[in-house]
Amino acid sequence: MKNILFNKDIIQRRVQELGRQISFDYSGHEICVIVLLKGAFMFASDLIRSLTPKVRVEFMKISSYAGQNSTGLVKIDQDIDYDIHNRHVLILEDIVDTGLTLHNLLDILYKRNPASIEICSFLDKPSRREVHVSVKYIGFVIENVFVVGYGMDYNQMWRQYPDIQIIEGD
């Protein structure tokens, strides 16, 4: 059973707003956009098309897993092949949940000495946060519900929906 939380028109409007804000903030600068696979692919595809500054697009695939401490660990499954030293990096994520993935990824990327790193996440689920992560650009804040669509999956399925749907029970 699925209910639509954000339909495709609302999503597109919000993504265009984000695009305008980011374009304004980075006006005159080149952005190195890092898209986190797989979940952010659809959001990134829409957002990047609305950006007006010079944009370089890179893709990264990471997975997080619980380590022996509560902050977890991140495994890089696919790294970027670009030196971000002195570059303005913008990470595109589909959802921030516990924050562990981004918290650990930031540690890794800051060691590469970029000029700046900001995060843009389509969704934010603050009630689930375990570690603080500063997310500058957020599409929508949601409650603690399980959502699919617009790139997000349940067991790798349903990423293709152009809207965001809530999964309720089984």
Q: Which residues bind ligand PRP (CB under 6 A)?
A: 36-39, 63-64, 93-101, 153
Helix ranges (DSSP H) in the chain: 8-25, 41-49, 100-110
Catalytic residue flag (residue 97) = yes
Cα end-to-end distance, the chain, whole Å: 7
Distance CA 106, CA 127 (A): 21
Beta carbon nearer to ligand PRP, 99 or 139:
99
- From the list 46, 94, 97, 124, the catalytic residue is 97
Tell me the C-alpha distance between 120 and 136, whole Å. Answer: 6
Residue 106 Cβ, how far from ligand PRP at the closest point, in Å?
Answer: 12
Task: Give 7 or 127: the residue with its C-beta nearer to ligand PRP.
Answer: 127
Q: How many CB atoms lie within 10 A of CB 85?
A: 9
* Residue 53 vs 131, nearer CB to ligand PRP: 131
What SS3 class is residue 41? helix
Q: Min. distance of Cβ 157 from ligand PRP in angstroms?
A: 11
| Structure-token pair, residue 32 | 């190195």
Catalytic residue set: 97
